[in-house]
Copies of this chain bind each other. A is one copy, B any other.
């Protein structure tokens, strides 16, 4: 109930045991306001981007930067080093209710945590939708190509990055390996969203990119485990590495092999159920359960929901499910992209700040390696004459949030000094923001999407 804490009682509420519960109505006010800001930013960004003939998701990312830590401070998070006093939303809440400093901190933390979790649910739903739109047979057909693209896309930037840092910049081995590792992972969320917007998700190029990005994500987890244990103890924890490789393989392959069983159970469930939500609720149960498993075995939630989408893609209910998942994705996915932008502090791009200069020079090198190291992967594709190799390479460029995790862990462990840390962040921001317009250029005009105002049905058709 919203009025509990709005009335000024001098006593604690015993039924509301935690500070969190006590401030719940004000946290709700803050979350609602944040969502309104995020939605407005996402729509304004997407529309401007579309008018300029860029993919809408690029606009959402940039709109996130505008409302985030780099500029307007409307949507900020503790992870970016922001405190409650940096948040405009918190100022507004403070103006509405006269809050104590502890209350402000507690509410800011809660609200940030909730918006971040909604963003996580957004990317889980996005990957479920991408899974639904992907064709498991088509993916299997390009499976070997995708695996090779992923392996090349990990090895080349890793090797070139580490060697270059040691050779040109005289960085010691362990930080160089760490920074090289940060160049490996591909952000599946950003690439797949752009592919979907360009109507290229089901093309051979699109399927290779998505497949390779999934494999890349798994390799990224393994690489992180390796370099983190290297940074910590100077040795590699072989047991953990083997565990991660085996569990990831068993999970994905198992999910797809058992797909037929899941399929039949799902179709059966939707037939038996007669109350509202008979299709979407079982689908969400499956997607969230797989995401839970993915997270629980220390892989990623998004791998689980992607596998769930792939499996349900094979059912007859697919088209109806596509239509019902769309509005859910429409309200959750933008939260993810806007918060990715909002958390990126582009202040590190400012060369006037002397702290950033050394980092920017290293960053220029890392960006070149990051782009070329992925672009070459296109030429590792075999047996697909006439395929757009440049498009595949460019599709693998965005590092997204994965690279930022490397920077965070490297900094925390004391392995990365300030310039290297800035360099990695700059590399992540630029690869993330460059990929969408580049993809747009190499793929040419979007398939069947252009010109007309889009209703739901047109969009469904366009995606199919």
Contacts and interface: CB of A to CB of B under 8 A. Distances in A.
- From DSSP, what is the main secondary structure of chain A's interface residues? helix
A21 B119 CA distance: 13
Interface stretch (A64-72, A155-163, A294-302): A294-302
A2 to B, nearest CB: 5
A454 B114 contact: no
A81 B14 CA distance: 9
B453 A36 contact: no
Interface residues of A, number: 108
Given A28-B117, A56-B276, A117-B114, A11 B300 contact: no
A284 B331 contact: yes
Contacts of A390: none
A89 B325 CA distance: 27
A292 interface: yes
A228 interface: yes
A47 B9 contact: no
Assembly of this chain: how many copies? 2
Contacts of A77: 21
Contacts of A32: 124, 288-289, 291-292, 295, 301
Interface string A1-24: 111101101111111111011001
A76 to B, nearest CB: 12
A294 B2 contact: yes
A100 interface: no
Interface stretch (A346-354, A375-383, A401-409): A401-409
A384 interface: no
A197 to B, nearest CB: 8
A459 interface: yes
Given A43-B281, A328-B328, A36 B296 contact: no
Contacts of A298: 2-3, 6-7
Interface string A386-411: 00000000000000011011011101
18 contacts: A9-B232, A9-B409, A15-B408, A15-B412, A20-B110, A20-B112, A21-B113, A24-B120, A27-B117, A31-B117, A32-B291, A32-B301, A36-B285, A47-B272, A47-B274, A276-B326, A276-B459, A284-B331
